[in-house]
Structure 1
Amino acid sequence: MNPLKQLAETGQAPWLDFVQRELIEGGDLAMMIKRDGLKGVTSNPSIFEKAIAHAPEYTKEFERYVHSGDHEPMAIYEHLAIGDIKAAADVLLPVYHETKGRDGYISLEVSPYLALDTEATVNEARRLHKAVGKPNLMVKVPATNAGIPAIRTLIGEGISINVTLLFAVPVYEQVARAYIEGLEHFASKGGDISKIGSVASFFVSRIDNVIDKQLQDKIDAGGDAAALKPLLGKAAIANAKVAYAAYKKWFSGAKWQALEAKGAHTQRLLWASTSVKNPAYPDTLYVETLIGRDTVNTMPPATMDAFRDHGKATPDAVEQDLAGGIDILKSLETHGISLEKVTIDLVADGVRQFANAFDQLLGAVAKKRTALIDLNGAEIEADAALHAAIEKTAKRWLAEGTIRKLWAGDKSVWTGTDEDKWLGWLTIVGEEHTHVATLERFAKAIREGGFKHVALLGMGGSSLGPEVLARSFGHRDGWPEFHMLDSTDPAQIATLESKLDLKTTMFIVSSKSGSTLEPNIFLAYFKARMIETVGQGDWARHFTAVTDPGSAMEHVAKHDHFAHLFHGVKSIGGRYSVLSKFGLVPAAAMGIDVANFLALTSHMVKSCSASVPVDQNPGAQLGLLLGVAAKEFKRDKVTIIASPKIADLGAWLEQLIAESTGKQGHGLVPIDAEPLGDAAVYGHDRVFAYLCLKGDEQAKQAAHVAALAKAGHPVVRITVNDVAQIGQEFFRWEMATAIAGAIIGINPFDQPDVEASKIKTRALTDAYEKGGSAPHDEPLFHEHGVAIFADPKNAAALGTHTTLAAYLKQHFNRADAGDYIAILAYIERNGSHMAALEQIRTHLRNTRKVATCLGFGPRFLHSTGQAYKGGPNSGVFLQITTDDAKDIPVPGHAYSFSQVKAAQAEGDLSVLVERDRRVIRVHFQNVQHGLEALHKAIIHAYH
């Protein structure tokens, strides 16, 4: 009989602290039960990390599970781990039956991330108990302050528990009390308490590790070596002896005997952490000295092999010289070593170590999963200082579990205001995929309804996402042509209408709140036009509404019997809504395979999930780069470079980044569609994001980006594998923006300064409605149909000049290093106007060497307008307005579209002035002439 098997004669059960598939499938576990008298198995995150991450026997099952339907790392780990636990439980089941439920258990640990949350621990333990479904499972719960009440609750529900991370005798006594109270509760409900098993895992060697170091430090510092040296390697065993004495006290007497009569098992002490860490000590030290009746010793394989080879099974060793053990503990206190503090620290450290092991496990699973799925890749190139700062922040986020908090809706990740109410975008992809049949039916109705055009009427988040999809995917054969209106400029409206055959057009009116000015007046206009075209009885079949439940737009759609009505999600803000109905309804109408699009997007969602550690999490990595670069290195200009086919992604990113982060004087300023330039024209205030679509690579872009990286600018290169995977970038950047906002210290889900501009616009349109006229200011300068306007403070800063060029030079010279120039053009957004303004911004960028932005109003008001007004005061603004050649009245109102646009421009300008921004307005009598004059003046100013 080998020494391991002899332990049974002493009353102690040997358990194995290790589990791996090969051990089970290869028959070694069954052999150890027979040969060594093995009675049970324990596991923990460290054990599973070594097994799943490194053992080759998991590879095929890993691949099979991922390919059966993508899963996030936590689900993959649980699938594999629970498979092992079930298989091991089956091997151990005869032991369980032979010992009548006393032994034959295998343990599965509740996530160590939940160690400080009672309710979450209880729910997780219930879930694991049900998922494994074996009578000989013990769910492992830590003996933290939050864990102890969970233990009582779970025992009271008839769930067997392995209590882990026990170091202190007083805490053990709390655990014993919780166990007994749980048994009493379960018995009171008529439960069979003979079916409940429990062990209290009392850790050993870790105590010696800490106390030996403290003793040695005292000796090295000149302490009483003669008194201190005999205490080395003695504290852990002494502590265990006292714990065993407490065990005997708790499980004796009338109260316990009453439970025992009903079949209750004692909650045995299980000696854990029994491998020797100090090579000077015998390798079987924590086995031979802790043998005792009704105890368990769980040994790692090496310790078990050592005891089998040369161990000595001395009965009742743990009860020998209890008084001597107590004296050792008293002596430690006398010499200034607090066992209480050591054990408190060890619990905290144990939780941290298990969490770290879980991080490593999930990180390894995430890495293996990424290699098996079609995920857009990203590479970050930055200097050593920025990399170090990112790594430092990443370590803090990992230690604090910030990504898990974010997914849990913990608003303390940000400012602690109302962020928890705006996180519906985190789960919307899965929800929409589950109900994708609704969108597929809508797509069929559009295709079979004879519609040749689909026109989206919206603003900001309701329009920019669908525009990206339309431009990126292109027109699809057999499907309607997609159009979009997000401007009150009369020429823009007329241009759209000229492209439409109203009889074959479906309008999608998109508005979250249903009260946004622009979609409502767009609806009013095209409703009137449609009635003129198809008649009063048939116009509504040409309209679809996408809006939040309960909105004014929902009321209109129902009252007027729109052909279709789709609901958004109230907990998703407009700029985060592209993966909800606001983006997916237009996508379905233009013939995009929405089911496939969502399936591909879900790869990124799961890659950014709560169970993916920061260093493997693509959204977190990008967010840390943006946030840290801005906060610690003043690189707050995010310059977007994209392949031509996905270039419109930049406009969507502008809104997401600017409106989310630009507030309270902080934030990121996105720079989209800025023409490429030499590295020398860029300041040290930028981060560059290069989004390259496979098959659409541009050598000039790639060379430009390489030159920027070589010059020392931070660059993130993102490879979009296919246009169908653009949804992955929607989610990556949503996550990154939310994370960057957390680092910067703002709420990324509100837009206070956009609202300020809307209020002023509303006041002016209300005045027009009542017969009022537009405000009239005197220009500072007027020449050949071009006039300059400025408020008194900005006018004083400009001085008095005799030419347009001189005024513009004085104004733009106010842009210093780290500033940016923004051109805000309230004119039709078309190819010729964009080309003319791009020439101007490029010249300004090259001469002033500052970042430049170009926005068309009122479109940008729902996008970058937030950052311009609420972000850092680093912008120098040029607003452009014009006399409209033709105006269009708004049906049902006293004002026209031209007046609305003018009110929006005035509201925009007045808020910029209130925010003490450097801004002037240039007004054209004729757009084409004005743009030519402006370009000539800029060239002249900076020749």
Structure 2
Amino acid sequence: MSSLSLSLLGAAREAADAQVPGLVDHEFASRLGAKDHTLWGQAAEDEASKRLGWVALFEDSRALLPKIAQLREELAGEGVNRVVLAGMGGSSLAPEVICGTEGLELIVLDSTDPQQVGKALKDLERTVLVVSSKSGSTVETDSQRRIVQRAFTEAGIDAASRTVVVTDPGSPMQKQSQQEGVRAIFEADPSVGGRYSALTAFGLVPSGLAGADLEALLDDAEDALEVLTEDDDSNPALQLGAAIGGTTPLRNKLVIVNSGSPLVGLGAWIEQLVAESTGKEGTGVLPVIVGDGEPELTRDADDVLVVELIDAEAEEGSSVDGDTADTVVSPHIVRTGGSLGAQFLLWEVAIAVAGSLLSINPFDQPDVESAKEAARGLLDSPAPAEQESVQDGAVAISVSGDESLLSSGQTSVAEAVQALLTRIPTHGYLAVMAYLDRLGEAELEEVRPHLSQVAGRPVTFGWGPRFLHSTGQFHKGGPHVGAFLQITADSDADIDVPERPFTLSELISAQAAGDAQVLAEHGMPVLRLHLKDRAAGLQQVIDAINSL
């Protein structure tokens, strides 16, 4: 069997001891394995009845492997070995983890920032575009597809022959792709939601084309499923789900740190699964991804649970409740490790368990749509109203939801950020939302631990619009205890979207403004720092925050 380890300390252990016996008596695990859609209450039954394909997908997933392998071989014979994946949220996060863990090249287009998208439009002679979307209507993915296909055409390459599509059967994108005559269409299981789709065509096709070992991934997951659907007190998914959703009072900040795990980027995949599945109806759990030794690990807060992602093989032989990393002060800890396939299923089952304990439907995402609607409204508006702003060097400062933030004469970036930190509630958090190039401007992430140190509270960092499909659901649907630092920028080179009445700069601006509008309507403060000069403004913001 694939390696899979779990140990719990403090409140995590107490929650498991209190909740797991009832879950076993309720036969939760075996009923989930049998696709029982009544496990989350009457209100969730309709949605759950359509979203449980992920617990029994192995036959269909294995059937995809020969087709993926054949296509990869054909493309390699044509000198095509660079995979660009256009997809958001669950459509891109799992392939990114799979390929990152195996050290394979995969270019993920999950941004509408023109700088980041523009950088993907190179080496086209050896590039295949994988477009992943259940419907094809996701505005980011549709825009990325149009832009890359135009680049193929301009380079003298037949775009259809270099486009591979992953979508639900009968979707608008499937019909459009058939008409275009694209290279290949892979049908995904429509009974699997995006964030549970790691082991379906959405996770497998781009990863397999990049060269991943899909058979081993599925073997490890299928081995783990036998344990994870057993009604037994030792079932690690029941224990993990109880630790996440069953602490009293709820520890609703899940601080995730890689403590030696070889699974590259797993935290970001967990982040989306947890935040989008649980953050609704005023409750939920907010994942906070941190690095070793960062502030959230060096204090014991009563609303925080720490998750250490470990190397299970390296930990073999250690005691179940053994010593944790020296830098982790909190006594309330989950430690888990194992093969990637096993971890995917462990967390999927655990979040289904946590959803039941939280009395919410873990398969919908009602508040993701609110920001999309606001963005669409701003794109359709001929002249959206400009926020009043204060100029500090290369940065324009404005606010939404709490005009008093700038009413006391805060005219510098540092003063405005300091004022925002005072608005974080006692059990609240700060979310940094950067609508920038997450590859080329990654140094901005380094401000996160300093902000947490100054604020004394957990701080999340999300790249927009990517985070809108992840923690964005928790921001609006969870408890309204957030304060938000939004960073946007002008771009030196914009990209127009073929056959659409907007450019990428206009789109990302509307997405940022739409999200800020919805957050403000929920009564939460949003401080916007807009970089008028991108390079100078970015450095100015970093310096200002580090000066706090």
Matched with 1:823 is 432
Query: How far apart, CA to CA, are the structure 2 residues paired with 1:784 and 1:663?
Result: 39
Distance 1:694 1:407, change over 3 A: closer
Are 2:218 and 1:601 equivalent residues in the alignment? Answer: no
- Residue of structure 1 in register with 2:403 after alignment: 795
Cα deviation, residue 853, structure 1: 0.5
| TM-score (norm. length: structure 2) | 0.93
Secondary structure in 2 aligned to 1:741?
A: helix
Contact 2:267 2:289 in 1 (8 A): yes
Quote the residue 2:78 is aligned against: 449
1-structure distance, mates of 2:174, 2:56: 24
Corresponding position of 1:8: none
CA distance in structure 1 between the aligned counterparts of 2:257 and 2:226, rounded to whole angstroms: 26
CA shift at 1:776, angstroms? Answer: 1.5
- Which residue of structure 2 lines up, in the alignment, with residue 377 of structure 1? 5
CA gap of 1:442–1:704, structure 2 versus 1, over 3 A, is farther
- Give the Cα–Cα distance (whole angstroms) in 2 for the partners of residues 540 and 881 of structure 1: 34
d(CA) in 2 for partners of 1:420, 1:517? 27
1:669 matches 2:286: yes
The separation in 2 between residues aligned to 1:446 and 1:600, in whole angstroms, is: 28
One-letter amino acid of the counterpart of residue 657, structure 1: V
Please name the residue that 2:249 is paired with.
633
Give the counterpart of 1:928 among 523, 535, 542.
535
Is there any run of 5+ residues in structure 2 with no aligned partner, and where? 316-320
Per-residue CA deviation, residues 870-923 of structure 1 (Å, 9 max, x unaligned), is 111121111111111110111112211110111111111111111222222111
Distance 1:696 1:492, change over 3 A: farther
Match of 2:281, SS state, is coil
Cα distance in 1 for partners of 2:138, 2:129 equals: 17
Aligned positions of 1:398-797 closer than 5 A: 398-416=24-42, 417=44, 418=46, 419-475=48-104, 481-497=105-121, 500-535=122-157, 538-609=158-229, 612-629=230-247, 632-642=248-258, 643=260, 645-674=262-291, 676-677=293-294, 679-693=297-311, 705-707=324-326, 711-720=329-338, 725-767=339-381, 772-779=382-389, 781-791=390-400, 793-797=401-405
Q: CA deviation at 1:696?
A: 8.4
Shift of the 644–393 alpha-carbon distance from structure 1 to 2, 3 Å rule, reads closer
Taking a change above 3 Å as real, the CA distance of residues 596 and 443 of structure 1, as seen in their structure-2 partners, is farther
| Offset of residue 645 of structure 1 | 4.3
Contact 2:431-2:484 within 8 A present in 1 as well: yes
Which one-letter code corresponds to 1:736 in the other structure? Answer: A
Residue 661 of structure 1: how far off its partner (Å) = 0.4
Counterparts of 1:466 and 1:389, CA distance in 2: 32
Letter in 2 for 1:387: R
Distance 1:790 1:620, change over 3 A: same
- 2:425 aligned with 1:835: no
Rounded Cα–Cα distance in structure 1 between residues aligned with 2:451 and 2:291: 11
Unaligned runs of 5+ in 1: 1-372, 476-480
Aligned-partner residue type, residue 271 of structure 2: E
TM-score normalised by L of structure 1: 0.55
Structure 1 pair 854–705 and aligned structure 2 pair: CA distance change class (3 A)? farther
Q: Which of the pair has the greater relative contact order for Cα pairs under 8 Å at 6+ separation?
A: 2
| Structure (1/2) with the larger helix percentage | 1
1:651, CA displacement in angstroms? Answer: 1.0
2:416 maps to 807
| SS state at 1:790 partner | strand
Question: Retained in 2: the 8 A contact 1:826–1:901?
Answer: yes
Q: Deviations over 1:797-818 (max 9, x none)?
A: 5532243222221211122442
Q: Residues 407-448 of structure 1: CA distance to partner in whole angstroms, max 9, x if unpaired?
A: 333333213222222111111134312553333323333333
Answer yes or no: is the 8 Å Cα contact 1:676–1:704 preserved in 2. Answer: no
Letter in 2 for 1:448: G
CA contact (8 A) 2:86 2:130 kept: yes
Which of 835, 853, 878 is residue 460 of structure 2 equivalent to?
Answer: 853
Distance 1:764 1:489, change over 3 A: same
Q: 1:915 to 1:816 in 2, by over 3 A?
A: closer
The amino acid of 1:928's aligned partner reads A
Report deviation, 1:399. 1.7
Q: Is the CA contact 1:681–1:846 (under 8 Å) kept in the aligned structure 2?
A: no
- Provide the C-alpha distance between the structure 2 equivalents of 1:543 and 1:933, rounded to a whole number of angstroms: 41
Aligned with 2:257: secondary structure? strand
Conservation of the 8 A alpha-carbon contact between 1:674 and 1:853: no
- Taking only aligned residues, the RMSD between alpha carbons, in angstroms, comes to 2.2
Distance 1:703 1:829 in 2: 36
Change (3 A) 1:374 1:411: closer
- Residue-pair matches, total: 537
Question: Counterpart in 1 of 2:318?
Answer: none
Distance in 2, Cα, partners of 1:521 & 1:938: 34
Q: Deviations over 1:746-784 (max 9, x none)?
A: 1111111101111111222234xxxx24431211x2211
Q: Which runs of 4+ in 1 moved over 6 A?
A: none
Question: Amino acid of the residue matched to residue 506 of structure 1?
Answer: V
Once the two structures are superposed, residues 189-211 of structure 1 have per-residue CA deviations (whole angstroms, 9 ceiling, x without a partner) of xxxxxxxxxxxxxxxxxxxxxxx
Distance change (3 Å), C-alpha of 1:626 and 1:614? farther
Higher-Rg structure is: 1
Shift, 1:694, TM fit: 5.8
Question: 1:435 and 1:788, CA in 2 relative to 1: closer, same or farther beyond 3 A?
Answer: closer
How far the C-alpha of 1:734 sits from its partner, in A, is 0.7
1:309-324 superposed matches below 5 A: none
Contact 2:337 2:343 in 1 (8 A): no
Q: Does structure 2 conserve the Cα–Cα contact (< 8 Å) formed by 1:514 and 1:548?
A: no
